A and B are shown apart, each in its own frame.
Chain A
Amino acid sequence: MTQWLENLPNWQPYGDPTYFGYLLLGLIPIVIGLLYGRRFQVYEALFSFTFILLMFSGSKWVQFYALIGYIVWQLMLIFGYQHYRKKADQGWVFYSAIFLSILPLILVKIHPVFNHGKMSIIGFLGISYLTFKVVAMLMEMRDDVLKDLRVWPVTRFLLFMPTLSSGPIDRYRRFEADYTTAPERSVYLDYLQSATWNIMLGFFYKFIVAYYINLYLLIPFKHAALSQGGLFNLPTIGVMYAYGFYLFFDFAGYSLFAIAISKFMGINTPINFNKPFLAKNLKEFWNRWHMTLSFWFRDYVFMRFVLMMTRHKVFKNRNVTAGVAYMVNMLLMGFWHGLTWFYILYGFLHALGLIVNDWWLRQKKQKNRARKKAGLEPLPSNWFTNAVAIFITFNFTMFTFLVFSGFLNQLWHH
């Protein structure tokens, strides 16, 4: 088995035009079926299995076993917890289940820190995105909104090929509803139209814009910055903007592919980016940037943390509660990216930014209330103030991306 796996070619998802060629060829029967309102479940399973297999074949064969082991582990947890949840609902059992489901990810994140950056053998491409899906399911099972789960639907949700490696992060109930009913023809034709457009736009983003930004801006700026050295220099500012845009076009392009292929398969996977650099404040930014991730954190970390703290009356002031929740939320996101100072600082900066942003909005509200009482016009809000707001938000996020990129680490320690 291992040898066979090792000898297969390896195809990274959405890596090159050839990949799309094979992918679209494989999709044809699914598309024809859906046009006639039929979903060929067995064929879809085979199709997904083949492309997942090829993601982890060749020199990456270890990851294939890691994936299988991981899925078995999570299925045991989900169904073990479901079995338990029918009878009881104790907090510690729930927390243990959550802990056990994150455990593989924690090990994968910690392993390189103590092993000279070497990856853990239980890791595989997409592990964190799968963990998000499982944790959300466990939480909704405790809320009693998810029940009577069966193995096959859960497996196909977890292993949904188009979004397996890097999202967007879908929710079980939404996905299952899409999957069990084939979309109506007119709706499905809309899907096909938007999918075709998204693939073309994704090509433009990832293979043209991101590629050229990297080649003609990012690499030369990095080169210049490194050769000048020092704590900070002018080319590093170039690296900052170039990297921010590179990250956006690369990842947004990737997300467009994943969404498009989902739609070909009749699944309306949620969007991930919505013009993030036009956000007027940091809160809005997170409603536009890597949306499925930030919504996941909002729903399953932030809201739950706020709720818990309010219920236990930890802080009197609800603004303090929100601030602490921001900090926990964003630091956790930082840790999730990896255990390095720059990821954690990235989370910290965003938490700080969100707290300041909240404070500012509160101040503005108060001022405007006071002005209204005094019969004055509210503070000006026009194209100019909007432009300033966009400018500040944009530059702040660009700076945090510079931190995130890890380039400063390279600049200071190379």
Chain B
Amino acid sequence: MRKRLWLIFGPVICAVALILITILLANPNPKSNYDVEKKAAVATTPQVFKSGVLKRQALSDSDHRFVPFFGSSEWKRMDSMHPSVLAEGYQRSYRPFLIGQAGATSLAQYFGMQQITDQLQDKQAVFVISPQWFVKDAQKQKALPMFYSKAQGLDFLQNQTGTDADRYVARRFVQVNPKDSLTGMMTKVADGKTLSKTDNAKIKSYLHVSNKEDAFFSTWKTADTYDKKIAPKAEKLPQPYNQKVLSQLATKTAQKDTSNNPYHIKNSFYTKRIKSHEAKLAGSQKNFNYVQSREYNDFQAVLNQFAESNTDVMFVIPPVNKKWAEYTGLNEQMYQKSVEKMKFQLSSQGFNQVADLSKNGNKPYYMEDTVHLGWNGWLNFDQHVNRFLTTKQKAPNYKINNQFLDNQWAMYEPKAKDDFSKFK
């Protein structure tokens, strides 16, 4: 019998043991490796977003300065003026570490930041706000599972100290992930209770294992975006850096690449995403509204994190493609209202580094497609960001106002020329 039992269970037991050994041997704090880091920095995959190991490895590299660029789908618009291309081509003192793709809204970003709080401490960062996040049913957060990993939740539980923002985030987590294995502890935080000793021990041991797992798998997590999309374009940039030359080049390239439609949208985007149902899209965005949204509260959680880490952040607010907005009926006044609301939330708390590009949607070849910066837009973006990252900045002085975590703020409808006195 014993021999038979060994034949049945032996292979399984050996396999499990081998897996455990392999994973537990992985090093969650790998040495700096510029080759891995530069690939991870532009991979823009959910795998990199979720991998604390890769993010920490790059952002704490003492020989190369990677700056976290938080954002979403715009990072994938890797044309010849993309910030990563420019930083590479002109050998800047920094390299963008792109964090986020389509669907990575504030809540996803907040959880992603929990893995790199040490790396954010007293450092600089860039954050692109997409007004498209600020829709009414933002609470559904359908894309969150794509960017969320258990390690982020665990890091959050370890970092939290029971502040209003912590309780707010925990509450949101329970709403969005009611079935998650961490929901129990999140509920405690949301209710303002302290975590028990066993809870903390659990967090620590889970985190230990998931960091090992992350370390083991991170080796295969980077994509070949760097070799395919960044390096070849960086090589072709005209040397030395000259704004005028670049701008001419951007316009010329863009003209060629947007020839098949009247909206100055990149040809491939137009063919793939619009052409087949173009007529149906006319007027389709008439009722879009970014003014009242839960996202304002989620965004506040992100601001709380930046303030806590004393991170000097530049916020960028992009425009929408004017021609496209007109075709789809997107209300420009509504758009500007939402921008005003965001800007008030920023400036009133001392976040003064804001590049408001929202009125540039009509500039030639500023957008690559409907809502994403491209060519001249990227150049403009680069001017702001480059100046911010390479010249000395005043130390930030943030004054957090927790009113912005309230539903009242989320649902607040600004009047024309509002001074937002209710929220001062």
Q: Which residues of A contact B (CB under 8 A)?
A: 9-10, 12, 16, 35, 58-59, 185, 189, 192-193, 196, 200, 227-230
Contact = CB atoms under 8 A, between A and B. Distances in A.
Contacts of A59: 178
B277 A192 contact: no
Given A35-B1, A227-B273, A189 B8 contact: yes
A193 to B, nearest CB: 5
B171 to A, nearest CB: 15
A196 B15 CA distance: 13
Contact of A196 (B1, B9, B184, B277): B9
B5 interface: yes
A230 B277 contact: yes
A228 B277 contact: yes
15 contacts: A9-B184, A10-B179, A12-B179, A16-B181, A35-B1, A185-B1, A189-B5, A192-B8, A196-B9, A196-B12, A200-B12, A227-B273, A228-B276, A228-B277, A229-B277
A59 B175 CA distance: 13
Contacts, number: 26
Contacts of A189: 1, 4-5, 8
Contacts of A35: 1
B5 A192 contact: yes
Interface string B167-201: 00000000000110100100000000000000000
A223 B273 CA distance: 12
B117 to A, nearest CB: 28
Contacts of B178: 59
B369 to A, nearest CB: 14
B236 interface: no
B208 to A, nearest CB: 16
Contacts of A192: 5, 8-9
Interface string B1-17: 10011001100100000
A227 B179 CA distance: 29
Contacts of B1: 35, 185, 189
B280 interface: yes
Interface residues of B, number: 14
Given A185-B1, A189-B1, A196 B8 contact: yes
Chain A facing B: main interface SS: helix
Contacts of A16: 181
B324 to A, nearest CB: 15
Nearest to A195: B8
Interface in B133-191: 178-179, 181, 184
Contact of A193 (B8, B184, B273, B277): B8
A35 B277 CA distance: 65
Given A59-B178, A228-B276, 8 more contacts: A9-B184, A10-B179, A16-B181, A35-B1, A185-B1, A192-B8, A200-B12, A229-B277
Nearest to A229: B277
Nearest to A200: B12
A386 B251 CA distance: 60
Contacts of B179: 10, 12
A10 B4 CA distance: 36
A35 B12 CA distance: 19
A10 B276 CA distance: 46
Q: Top 10 A-B pairs ranked by shortest CB distance?
A: A193-B8, A189-B4, A192-B8, A196-B8, A228-B277, A229-B277, A228-B276, A196-B12, A229-B280, A196-B9
A24 B12 CA distance: 13
Contacts of B184: 9, 58
Contacts of A12: 179
Contacts of B12: 196, 200
Nearest to A227: B273
A392 to B, nearest CB: 30
B319 to A, nearest CB: 23
A10 B5 CA distance: 33
Contacts of A196: 8-9, 12
Nearest to B273: A227
Interface string B378-402: 0000000000000000000000000
B115 to A, nearest CB: 22
A227 B370 CA distance: 15
Interface in B269-324: 273, 276-277, 280
Contacts of B181: 16
A12 B184 CA distance: 15
A210 B4 CA distance: 32
Nearest to A11: B181
A200 B5 CA distance: 16
Nearest to B4: A189
A87 B184 CA distance: 54
Q: Which of B8, B178, B273, B277 has the most CB of A within 10 A?
A: B8
Nearest to A197: B8
Interface in B1-41: 1, 4-5, 8-9, 12
A59 B273 CA distance: 42
Interface string B199-218: 00000000000000000000
Contacts of B277: 228-230
Contacts of A10: 179
Contacts of A230: 277
A9 B184 CA distance: 8
Interface string B247-284: 00000000000000000000000000100110010000
Nearest to A185: B1
A200 B1 CA distance: 22
Contacts of B4: 189
A192 B280 CA distance: 59
